[in-house]
Chain A
Amino acid sequence: MNFDVITSYIPLYTEAFFLTIRIGWTGIGLALFIGVFVAFAQHFRVPVLARIAGIYVELFRNTPLLCQLFFLYFGLPKIGITIPAETCGTLGLGLLGGSYMAEVFRSGLGSIPVTQEEGALALGLTRRQMFTYVVFPEALSLSVPGIVGNMIFLLKETSVFSAISLMDLMFTAKDLIGLYYNTTEALFLLVIFYIIMLLPVSVLGSILENKVKIRTYGA
């Protein structure tokens, strides 16, 4: 391995890294928002909305992100909807992630025992208060492992962005391999930067999971 080559590549990767992170975390934010919204629609059986939510979840959970991105980025402009590549990436990740997050929240909400609701109602809490202070926070802590798992999954999925010509980490690596044949160095940096991006989330996730485990269960 040639360390001079590595040093000279670092700025390129750093730039790509920040682009990837930006799209990744904005997409995750969007995914959480969509996920909560969709899970509520389904949990409360909101007419029409619950139906649409169900179709959305099935569609996006059963298709690859790459395919969704191609449709958003190459397909939609043909009917007059042009979305810039970065927005496409964020939107695609958000839509894909939303369907996964929705499932996590929904099963969290569904696994709160009825006796918990009754306990809250018996204290005089209204249904709204019961949901806000008891059911939702409990469901949220039950959902933590799933949310973290999905975050890692979504950050990994960012690796397909180069397909819609976003200059992310994969794009940079591919470019350098193609241009200069410094394959080993290019791949080495690729791995390092993905470790920097994902290892902290993975470790933090494990810590958080253990913490939540103590608080939940067995009341």
Chain B
Amino acid sequence: MGFEVLLKGNNALRLLMGLGVALRISLISAVISIALGTVFGVLMTLKKPAITAFFRIYLETVRIMPQMVLLFIVYFGATKARGINLTAETAALIVFSFWGSAEMADLVRGALQGIPKIQYESSTSLGLSTMQTDRYVIGPQIIRRMIPLSINLITRMIKTTSLVMMIGIVEVLKVGQQIIEANRKVSPNAAFGIFLVIFLLYFAACWPISLLAKYLERKWEN
């Protein structure tokens, strides 16, 4: 069924390293997204018409444009048409950060607006300053809401990274294809085993993170 190919040479290691490439891209993008998205999210609650309008367009673009299309625009559009020399990996990082920041911004905005007004009022009435209110009352509540959601964003990022093979980055799916191709004669059925293993590898990467997010969400629910 094609599993034997994995034991040949360093094939198993190559697959894992391919997964490593995907994970590296997703983690860097996730970190950038969480940082930028938090800033954007706070900006969105400022109720300045120009800022609001800008972010509405930005968010709606991300909401309806497939990441794949964005990847093509940045990679082929910028590199080929404008002569800017972007590596595929840089293009991927730009696109995933652009996408992830929007997602994160919307989550942060939702969390900020989800804090009942009475929370602000009761801290003010206790004599806390605005800064103290944010620091001791609002901030901790936001962080508890945001951590599980940010962790979920990381799993989504990992799953989305599988797209980068379509712009030629050699990650786990591409490595899988190469292995299948190289062993076409000796193991004609390798595609079954290899793709099943990759499927499970992705699952092994994402599932624990999803469980952690679910656990934290439940723990901090109340």
Are chains A and B touching directly in their complex (CB below 8 angstroms)?
yes
Supposing A78-B2, A183-B77 touch, asked if A173 and B66 sit within 8 A by C-beta, the answer is no
Chain A hits for B189, CB < 8 A: 78-79
Q: How large is the interface on B (under 10, 10 to 19, 20 to 34, 35 or more residues)?
A: 35 or more
Chain A hits for B68, CB < 8 A: 159-160, 170
Does the CB pair B66–A156 fall under 8 Å?
Answer: yes
Does the CB pair A62–B206 fall under 8 Å?
Answer: yes
Supposing A78-B189, A174-B72 touch, asked if A191 and B65 sit within 8 A by C-beta, the answer is yes
Does the CB pair A79–B195 fall under 8 Å?
Answer: no
Chain A hits for B72, CB < 8 A: 170, 173-174, 177, 187, 190
Determine chain A's interface SS by DSSP, over half rule: helix
Does the CB pair B195–A74 fall under 8 Å?
Answer: yes
Is B76's beta carbon under 8 Å from chain A? Answer: yes
Is B196's beta carbon under 8 Å from chain A? Answer: yes
Least CB distance, A12 to chain B, in whole angstroms: 16
Is A194's beta carbon under 8 Å from chain B? Answer: yes
Contact string against B for A residues 182-194, beta-carbon threshold 8 Å, 1 for contact and 0 otherwise: 0110010011001
Does the CB pair B188–A159 fall under 8 Å?
Answer: no
Is A70's beta carbon under 8 Å from chain B? Answer: yes
Least CB distance, A77 to chain B, in whole angstroms: 8
The one of A62, A71, A170 in contact with B195, judged by C-beta atoms closer than 8 angstroms, is: A71
Query: With A and B bound together, what is the CA distance between A157 and B1 in angstroms?
Result: 29
Least CB distance, B104 to chain A, in whole angstroms: 16
Q: In chain A, residues 67-96, which have Cβ atoms closer than 8 Å to a Cβ of chain B?
A: 67-68, 70-71, 74-79
Does the CB pair B207–A76 fall under 8 Å?
Answer: no
Contact string against B for A residues 43-78, beta-carbon threshold 8 Å, 1 for contact and 0 otherwise: 000000000000000110111111110110011111
Is B109's beta carbon under 8 Å from chain A? Answer: no
Contact string against A for B residues 54-74, beta-carbon threshold 8 Å, 1 for contact and 0 otherwise: 000000100111111100110
Chain B hits for A173, CB < 8 A: 72
Is A202's beta carbon under 8 Å from chain B? Answer: yes
Total residue contacts A-B, CB cutoff 8 A: 119
How many A residues face the partner with a CB closer than 8 A?
41
Is B202's beta carbon under 8 Å from chain A? Answer: yes
Query: With A and B bound together, what is the CA distance between A107 and B166 in angstroms?
Result: 35
Among B73, B76, B155, B193, the most chain A Cβ lie within 10 Å of the Cβ of B76
Does the CB pair A74–B191 fall under 8 Å?
Answer: yes
From B28-36, B134-142, B156-164, give the one contacting chain A: B156-164
Is B24's beta carbon under 8 Å from chain A? Answer: no
The one of B60, B81, B206 in contact with A184, judged by C-beta atoms closer than 8 angstroms, is: B81
Among B60, B69, B81, B198, the most chain A Cβ lie within 10 Å of the Cβ of B69
Query: With A and B bound together, what is the CA distance between A156 and B159 in angstroms?
Result: 14
Does the CB pair B162–A64 fall under 8 Å?
Answer: yes
Does the CB pair B166–A191 fall under 8 Å?
Answer: no
Does the CB pair B64–A198 fall under 8 Å?
Answer: yes
Query: With A and B bound together, what is the CA distance between A117 and B15 in angstroms?
Result: 52
Does the CB pair A191–B195 fall under 8 Å?
Answer: no
Across the two chains, which residue of chain A brings its CB closest to B166?
A: A163
The one of B173, B180, B196 in contact with A66, judged by C-beta atoms closer than 8 angstroms, is: B173
Is A152's beta carbon under 8 Å from chain B? Answer: yes
Chain B hits for A190, CB < 8 A: 69, 72
Supposing A71-B195, A71-B199 touch, asked if A202 and B64 sit within 8 A by C-beta, the answer is yes
Q: In chain B, residues 114-171, which have Cβ atoms closer than 8 Å to a Cβ of chain A?
A: 155, 158-163, 165-166
The one of A61, A63, A157, A191 in contact with B199, judged by C-beta atoms closer than 8 angstroms, is: A63
Does the CB pair A184–B198 fall under 8 Å?
Answer: no
Chain B hits for A62, CB < 8 A: 155, 159, 202-203, 206-207, 210
Q: Which 10 A-B pairs have the closest CB atoms?
A: A159-B68, A159-B66, A198-B64, A62-B206, A64-B162, A78-B192, A75-B195, A156-B66, A78-B189, A64-B159
Interface, chain A (partner B; CB < 8 A): 58-59, 61-68, 70-71, 74-79, 152, 156-160, 162-163, 170, 173-174, 177, 181, 183-184, 187, 190-191, 194-195, 198-199, 202
Instruction: Please name 10 pairs of A and B residues whose Cβ atoms are closer than 8 Å in the assembled complex, sorted by A.
Output: A58-B203, A66-B162, A70-B198, A71-B196, A74-B195, A156-B67, A163-B166, A187-B72, A194-B64, A198-B64
